[in-house]
Amino acid sequence: MGGLRLQGNTAGNFVEVTESDQLKVITETNVGTNFANVGAVRIFHENDPGDILGTPNLKSPEVDDDYRTRFALDNILDSETFNYTAQNTGKFISNTSTMATAFQVNGLRTNSGAILTTNSGITFGTYAEFPIFGGQALYIEFNASFDAQLPTNTVIDYGMFRRGASTQFAPTDGVYFRASSAGFLGVVNYNGQETSTSVFDFTHVNNKKYKFVISFNERNVQFWIDDVLYGELNTPAGQGQPCLSSTLPISIRHAIPAVSATAGAAISMYLNNYVLHNGGYTIDRTIGENQNAILGSYQGVSGGTQGQLIFGTVTTGTLVKPTAAVPVTNGLTGNLGNNLGGRVWEQLTAGLAVNTDGVLVAYLNPAGTAILQGKRLRVTGLKMSATIQTVIVGGPVTNEFYLLFGGTSTSLIVAEGAAQKAARRIFIPEFTQIITAAQPVNTPVSQISHHANFSSAPIYVNPGDVLGLAVNRFGTALTGGVIAYTYQFIYSWE
């Protein structure tokens, strides 16, 4: 049987085999000196096969000088699901001109009145703005649909951009998708100067949900639909980044421009949710801190109470003083505290007896529903102080306080059971007070401390459970007067 002899062209040496008929191979042991003897493979990751643009989108991984592969983690900066029927006015701003926006369980709807009028529009977006992190990428993802094909004289923009001030609300700076009768395309706006991709090879199906994603950093902007890359724009020479702004809000704009013709037909965009995250930098946040960044500290959850209401409304110029009321054991009486911060005035005439527990504050953490986010309330502290509002009759007494949490009722006499829970109680010795006999008006109540700190062992209140504050006193009975308390829970949502 014939064989094949392998011989080097320059030195004339032959390749040898072992006794078991295997090629003899000696691996290079001195890579630093003889690096030319080492084979290497270049590695690229395929982000997109190029089905639409014709050229695969390939990126090579990076290794640092200490031979470690560079990895990145995504951090959620903001998110929202639109399945509720009232705007979260603490988080979002909406402006309209003839056209209207509706909040529905099936999504935020633009042009809810099917307006065709020329020179009309709406804009919607976050009050918050989010930074462009240098070489790191921002990803804004919209889950949305359209209820008709794109008509003439209608423009819908959605992405991250500065919203115009009036009427048609044209973007003034940012990056966004644009849908019009021409089709879908991507736009980069640098201080009012727009640069766009060509029209995408994409036609939507009415009422079908699509994932629209914009990925951008200082050098490049990409536009994706259902994980397919449809367009890409590089930052023009001479510009430090695609847009002039270094921070941008999340925005939507639906407009019928000011031309002689009205819109060719009515169309609405339905936004079901969005997610904004950055890839790269690790942000050291707890879940509660991250939720405060998303919802806003001391704000209500979307679909629930919009903002922290303290015996008044968000628009009340001066908060209304409460009416004094008597704490009771079996629940929360009217005019006492039912929120996460505010004032409580305790009526002492025919009031709470000594050696009896009474509820001063009871906040019900909303139970989760299909249209209301069910979130745990994370409490890390409580602040409280007290003064005399009406002169004290009787006394002296000592007031002791404890925190209530975990109960399914405001009452202190609910039994523990399979379908209900009694409130757990934590004493707050920091708030112990001494009220003197005949203590006069506008004098502070003696109190050991004004702040209770639970940060090392936070208290968690589940959806549907109560968070509250109760008082018990001993000494000589109080038979008249009013104590004015102010209180504030330190909390976040998780």
Domain 341-493 in the same topology as domain 75-284 = yes
341-493: CATH class: mainly beta
Query: Shortest CA distance to 212 belongs to which of 228, 190, 188?
Result: 228
Indicate the domain borders of the chain: 75-284, 341-493
- Selected from 2.60.120.200, 2.40.110.10, 3.40.50.300, 3.40.309.10, the CATH number assigned to the domain covering 75-284 reads 2.60.120.200
Local confidence pLDDT in tens for the 494 residues of the chain: 566 777 777 777 888 888 887 887 777 777 667 777 776 666 777 777 788 887 887 777 767 666 677 666 778 888 999 999 888 877 889 999 999 999 999 999 999 999 999 999 999 999 888 887 666 788 999 999 999 999 999 999 999 999 998 778 999 999 999 999 999 999 999 999 999 999 999 999 999 999 999 999 888 999 999 999 999 999 988 888 899 888 889 999 999 988 768 999 999 999 999 999 887 666 667 767 777 767 767 777 776 654 455 555 556 667 778 899 999 999 888 889 888 888 999 999 999 999 999 999 999 888 776 667 677 888 999 999 999 999 999 999 999 999 999 888 888 888 887 877 888 899 999 999 999 999 999 999 999 999 999 999 999 888 888 999 999 999 999 999 999 999 999 998 88
Output the CA torsion sign for 265, 266, 272, 273: positive
CB 157 within 8 A of CB 214: no
- What is the spatial distance between Cα 451 and Cα 58, in angstroms, rounded to a whole number? 56
